[in-house]
Amino acid sequence: MSGACGASHRLETEGSFCLVLHSHLPWLPHHGAWPVGEEWLYQAWAHSYLPMVDLLEQLAAEGHRDVLTLGVTPVLAAQLDDPYALRACHEWLGNWLLRAQFAATHWREPLLSDLAAHEFRAATNALATFESRWRNGFSPILRSLVDTGVIELLGGPLTHPFQPLLRRPVRSFALRAGLADTALRLGRAPAGIWAPECGYAPGMEHDYAAAGVERFLVDGPALHGDTHAGRPVGSSDVVCFGRDLEVTYRVWSPKAGYPGDPAYRDFHTFDHPSGLKPSRVTGKHVPPHEKRPYDPALAATAVAKHADDFVSTVVARLRSLRAQHGRPGLVVAAYDTELFGHWWHEGPAWLSAVLRTLPSAGVRVTTLRGALAAGHVGPAVELPASSWGSGKDWRVWDGEQVSDLVTAGAALQDELLAVAPVPWRDPVRDQLVREALLTLSSDWAFMVTKDSAADYARRRAKVHGDRFAELAALIRAGHPSRFPRAEALRAEDGLFGRLDARGLLS
């Protein structure tokens, strides 16, 4: 069977739908725990990545293929395969189970008592799944989903840097090394990427073509909202796909979306003794102490309502596109994977309902690869400088609030290109490149601009920037202490074990 509609016998008439999910977290092991740090990783692992894999494997067992396009950044893949992170996540899941047991003995209100029992079952199942399926990391699981055609995989540059702000040699190295890292884990490099933050600068398509990238994502406004098909970029054969914001924003936008429904579980309200979330949203302006207890039955009703609404929105959009262009169109809806389960507790249930309902509404569910095969390709386009951030330009990553980070990042790259490229293998320079790329992660500027754990983001950028400067000075001085210092830093931040600084010479 082909497509997620393989179990449906209805003729597909409305058009095609691609769900694209972007899975990414910055490198977090060994860099704090709470409120920002490793806890962020383990929450997303438990509440988004485990449920997502479970859903995909259920759909695979039912015969579905080309279910969705899944982006997994190399830096996230490194964490989900990292022995330290695997052990720590296992401990976190065990702690979740203990916290659920605590809640079961202290939450007396009937709805809360039921919720504690639900948490205990969820933690028990997650722990069992992790022990039986995840102890060797994510890559074996992901490879099975890729090799059997259940998903299309998107990759990206190593540490999720905002590519338009990178010197071209650094940008090229980060992308080629990121694709190579994915190939090492999964057996082959992906043909498509989720460009970090959908950041694009004119001409980058030629770098993509040189690296073997055939398709990438941009935000809808970069195509002036004309997202009904993939579009070759400039004179290249590289195809861009744009997020259809008319559909995407039904779920999550800067102002509203389904997760704000009063029946859904409130992400921000904690029971501090247990660390669990016992409340429903209740209302937009309701203070935490006045929020009502979470009721799974109410939430399930909201999931069904919002799944139906989304399917109706997709069908209406596809009919509009057909009327406009005279042929079946394409809708691409794209989100962060972590929205589903971590930020929005009911997100995985909603996804399950949508992916199973769309085919019966006459919509072909497929991947970006499948959309190309189905002929959803329009004329070539010249893209402007763009991103999916505020203003759809680069302001989140190069605005006034982060001008110091931008200046420091430019100077760091100049020093990297002056010090790192040598024709022999040097583990000190390898670590120098690691620290440079960790400094250049796009997450730090995003968190500062959005004032989301800004202090943590600035601290992380400074820590890695200082370590880079220290190693660069030791290399320039030829100091013998550079070897033990680089080894000590690698013990903490040793991701991408085969990273080779000589790639900067290419």
Paired residues of 335 in beta bridges: 21
What stretch of H or E contains 309?
helix 296-325
Paired residues of 241 in beta bridges: 217
> In 324-478, at which residue ranges do the beta strands (DSSP E only) sit?
329-336, 363-366
Strand-pair category, 239-242 with 231-232: antiparallel
CATH 3.40.50.261 is held by the domain 15-373 = no
Q: What is the predicted pLDDT for the residue at 11?
A: 45
SS3 480: coil
Under the phi-then-psi rule, with left for phi > 0, alpha for psi from -120 to 50, and beta for the rest, what region is 326?
left
Could you identify the residue written with the tokens 């999931």?
303
What stretch of H or E contains 246?
helix 245-251
Active site residues: 197, 336
CB 83 within 8 A of CB 206: no
Question: If you ran DSSP here, which 8-state letter would residue 196 be given?
Answer: G
Residues 195-218: tens digit of each pLDDT: 999 999 999 999 999 999 999 999
Instruction: Write out the two tokens for 363.
Output: 């919509």
Q: What is the predicted pLDDT for the residue at 6?
A: 42
SS3 485: helix
Q: How far is CA 266 from CA 301, 391, 464, in A?
A: 16, 28, 34
Extract the residue ranges of the chain whose pLDDT is less than 70: 1-12
Distance CA 197, CA 203 (A): 17
Q: What is the predicted pLDDT for the residue at 13?
A: 83
Distance CA 10, CA 191 (A): 31
Long-range contact set of residues 29-36: C-beta below 8 Å, sequence gap at least 24: 29/79, 29/82, 29/84, 29/85, 29/88, 30/84, 30/492, 30/493, 31/460, 31/463, 32/456, 35/453, 36/453, 36/456
CATH 1.20.1430.10 is held by the domain 397-505 = yes
Distance CA 449, CA 301 (A): 37
Instruction: Write out the two tokens for 55.
Output: 């859903």
Q: How far is CA 335 from CA 24, 248, 447, in A?
A: 11, 8, 18
Q: What percent of the chain has pLDDT over 70?
A: 98
Measure the N-to-C terminal CA separation of the chain; round to a whole number of Å.
43
Paired residues of 239 in beta bridges: 215, 232
Q: What is the predicted pLDDT for the residue at 9?
A: 39
Residue 363's φ and ψ, nearest 5 degrees, are: -105, 130
What stretch of H or E contains 56?
helix 50-61
Could you identify the residue written with the tokens 């993939």?
230
Range 246-279 burial, b when 16+ CB lie within 10 A, else e: bbbbbbbeeeebbbebebbbbeebebeebebbbb
Q: How far is CA 172 from CA 41, 178, 205, in A?
A: 28, 10, 12
Instruction: Round the CA-based radius of gyration of the chain to a whole number and report it.
Output: 23
Contacts of 185 (CB under 8 A, 6+ apart): 77, 81, 139, 142, 143
Residues 246-267: tens digit of each pLDDT: 999 999 987 789 999 999 999 9
Residues 56-93: tens digit of each pLDDT: 999 999 999 999 999 999 999 999 999 999 999 999 99
- Torsional sign, CA 234, 240, 241, 245: negative
Q: What is the predicted pLDDT for the residue at 415?
A: 98
| CA 213-219-221 angle, 5° bins | 130
Q: What is the predicted pLDDT for the residue at 2?
A: 42
Query: Residue 441's closest CA among 457, 419, 418?
Result: 457
Q: What is the predicted pLDDT for the residue at 148?
A: 97
- Domain borders along the chain are 15-373, 397-505
Strand-pair category, 192-193 with 151-155: parallel
Greatest C-alpha distance within the chain:
71
Residue 70's φ and ψ, nearest 5 degrees, are: -115, 115
SS3 279: strand
What interhelical angle do 50-61 and 139-147 show, nearest 10?
30
Q: What is the predicted pLDDT for the residue at 12?
A: 54
Paired residues of 276 in beta bridges: 271
